[in-house]
Amino acid sequence: MADFLASALNANLTAWRSAPAPAELERVAIDWIKEAPGCDPDAGGLFMSGGSMANFTALAAARHRHCGDAVATHGAAAHPAPLRVYASTETHHSIHKAAALLGIGRANVREIPVDACLRMDVDALVRAIEEDRVAGAEPFCVVANAGTVVTGAVDPLAEIAAVARRYRLWMHVDACYGGFARLAPSARPLFDGMSEADSIALDPHKWLYLPADCGCLIYRDPEAARPAFSLDADYTRVMQTESAEAFAFWEYGPDLSRRFRALKVWMALADAGSRPVGDAVEGNLKLCPSPGRACRRQG
């Protein structure tokens, strides 16, 4: 119903000024969504077509923070050293695709082995970073999984966050599949450390039970991402001086024209709240076979 209304209304959420009420609704819906991964009040983000786009956007922000304007202006060849992204062998292929499209290169996504529970081996991550630094490459981003595409494994997020801090890497969490499982009390401890990430990709069109065409990217500090997407042109120049009215979604992601995806998120959560989602996920988890012996041993 919400998708039907959104199509009929045909609001275009480029910025507050193009669609003030829908833009406000998107910001409210994002504020509700960001409670699922336990983000700080200062976190912010936007809806997009799906998780692949959210992962792409996060890598673009991470690359820009590391390389600055030189690569955005002159292309990847302008950067003096190979860039490195780290992700487990279980990572969704949209990360490799993003690396290819952003000129980072698929070969520069270094795949880190996993343990018996298919979670990233953090010691192997540290070894890979050290090796690359010695070889003259530049580690700039680590992607952790909060629910891998094949088995739903959740990487040790708090440990990975500590490594990211130590080596000053952008930490992105691909929580497209599993992120909303944090609403289920039995799964919650798995997600400790997720809110420390610089960015989190979540798919409301997966475990928020919404229809397709609803991904989401949350930034811990939206202003850290903005330089990657902000460009000046006559038709994008912001005249408003009040900060809410000057807000433009195009400064936080690649899209200019954007659908009113927030309506279905807002309607679902305004109607039911997040508790029924947690209960439903809990019910889904009970359908899973119990984890193998190796995983039980590791908790």
Q: Can you list the positions of beta strands (E) in 205-282?
A: 215-219
Residue with tokens 């018996």: 116
- Pick between residue 67 and residue 200 the one whose CB is nearest to ligand PLP: 200
- Shortest gap between Cβ of 145 and ligand PLP (angstroms)? 6
- Pick between residue 90 and residue 159 the one whose CB is nearest to ligand PLP: 90
- Shortest gap between Cβ of 62 and ligand PLP (angstroms)? 16
Provide the Cα torsion 146, 41, 16, 252; round to 10°.
-40
DSSP H or E run through 88: strand 83-88
- Pick between residue 176 and residue 194 the one whose CB is nearest to ligand PLP: 176
What are 205's two structure tokens? 């069109």
Sheet holding 83-88, edge to edge: 44-48, 215-219, 199-202, 170-175, 138-145, 83-88, 109-112
- Pick between residue 67 and residue 187 the one whose CB is nearest to ligand PLP: 187
- Shortest gap between Cβ of 153 and ligand PLP (angstroms)? 10
- Pick between residue 88 and residue 148 the one whose CB is nearest to ligand PLP: 148
Chain contacts with ligand PLP (rule: CB under 6 A)? 50-52, 55, 92, 94, 147-149, 174, 176-177, 203, 215
d(C-alpha 13, C-alpha 298), whole Å: 46
- Shortest gap between Cβ of 87 and ligand PLP (angstroms)? 11
- Shortest gap between Cβ of 170 and ligand PLP (angstroms)? 17
